[in-house]
């Protein structure tokens, strides 16, 4: 087995670029562009630095996979996630009048959906449609603890301005933060 590490410099650079773009977009949408830009960029940079530290720590104990499996890249994984997320957008529109409770309901539904399907079949419906499966880093079947940790890693990846999702494009084993936290890989099934 050959253990590989993500290219931390490239991942951090991508995170900072995404942070700057999102900060500029937030500033353009507000009445106080300079203040909003600085605040948003500060939070994004802090989140990126913290996330890079977490990724380096998680990578140091991550196992490598068996050879011969084709790892799933960023775009195919993004397509699977979009397919999975469509019903949640529709449910969110229906629950919008409920207010802040809608977010909690969507989080619980998302937890049940993703953890339930990853833990039982290793695939969400979107992953099944595009031919992907989640496996442990050693190539074995994902367990419930992997699925739960993976879900919280996915939430963190989104909360840090998508840096943890974009990380897939820069990691030599195509792992995002959800994979690093969950000890998983996403492989092609066909």
What confidence tens digit (pLDDT) does each residue in 100-118 have?
888 899 999 999 999 999 9
1 is a domain residue: no
Does the global pTM surpass 0.75? no
Q: How many domains does the chain have?
A: 1
3 is a domain residue: no
41 is a domain residue: yes
2 is a domain residue: no
Report the alpha-carbon distance of residue 113 to residue 124 in Å, rounded: 8
Report the alpha-carbon distance of residue 39 to residue 63 in Å, rounded: 38
pLDDT (0 to 100) of residue 45: 64
pLDDT (0 to 100) of residue 10: 63
148 is a domain residue: yes
Q: How confident is the model at residue 133 (pLDDT cuts 50, 70, 90)?
A: very high
Query: Which range marks the domain in which residue 55 is found?
Result: 8-188
26 is a domain residue: yes
129 is a domain residue: yes
Report the alpha-carbon distance of residue 129 to residue 54 in Å, rounded: 32
Given a cut of 60, whether residue 136 has pLDDT beyond it is yes
Q: What is the CA radius of gyration of the chain?
A: 17
Which token pair is 44? 């994004």
In contact, 115 and 147? CB cutoff 8 Å: yes
Higher pLDDT, 137 or 17: 137
What confidence tens digit (pLDDT) does each residue in 7-49 have?
666 666 666 666 666 666 666 655 655 666 666 666 666 666 6
79 is a domain residue: yes
């Amino acid at each position: 087995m050959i253990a590989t590490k993500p290219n931390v410099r490239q991942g951090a650079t991508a995170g900072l670029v995404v942070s700057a773009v999102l900060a500029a977009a937030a500033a353009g949408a507000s009445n106080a562009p300079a203040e909003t830009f600085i605040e948003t960029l500060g939070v994004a940079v802090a989140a990126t630095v913290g996330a890079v530290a977490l990724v380096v720590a998680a990578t140091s104990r991550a196992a490598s996979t068996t050879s011969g499996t084709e790892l799933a890249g960023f775009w195919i994984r993004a397509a699977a996630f979009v397919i999975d997320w469509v019903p949640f957008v529709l449910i969110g529109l229906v629950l919008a009048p409920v207010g802040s409770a809608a977010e909690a309901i969507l989080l619980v539904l998302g937890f049940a959906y993703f953890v339930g399907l990853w833990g039982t079949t290793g695939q969400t419906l979107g992953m099944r449609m595009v031919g992907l499966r989640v496996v442990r880093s050693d190539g074995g079947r994902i367990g419930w603890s992997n699925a739960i940790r993976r879900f919280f890693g996915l939430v963190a990846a989104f909360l840090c301005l998508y840096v943890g999702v974009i990380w897939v494009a820069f990691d030599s084993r195509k792992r995002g933060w959800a994979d690093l936290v969950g000890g998983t890989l996403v492989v092609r099934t066909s």
